[in-house]
Amino acid sequence: MLEKETLKKIVLNIADAIDTGNSDYSQDEMDQILDSINKITNTQNKLSKYQAAALLNKSISTFDNWVRDGKIPEGRKEAGFKEKFWLKSDLLSVNNEG
């Protein structure tokens, strides 16, 4: 929980600095901050099996076993692509205790 509170404090400090005109971030730094926040909060990101396994902190074999056992939803298919993908939102509810 400490990480969430720390992150919240950092983001609020950035927002306050911007609101008061006291921000010393360059445009490039602001773009990097925004990109990072978007990557974290965008739950519609398409993830490969390797990215999905890393997100869950699992090996590929464990990830495959969890898919087979129904602990993780089957990957999605997209016309024209051979590989399956997972949405981050599909994985956020996965019980990571397994």
Instruction: With H, G, I as helix, E, B as strand and everything else as coil, classify residue 46.
Output: strand
Q: Which of 1, 22, 87, 9 is nearest to 48 (CA)?
A: 87
Q: What is the pLDDT along the chain (98 residues), one digit of tens a residue?
A: 567 788 888 889 888 988 898 888 888 988 888 888 777 777 678 899 999 999 899 999 999 999 999 999 999 998 888 889 999 888 887 865 55
First to last CA, the chain: 21
* CB atoms near residue 27 (< 10 Å): 7
pLDDT of residue 4: 78
Q: Which of 50, 38, 55, 62 is nearest to 90 (CA)?
A: 55
pLDDT of residue 84: 92
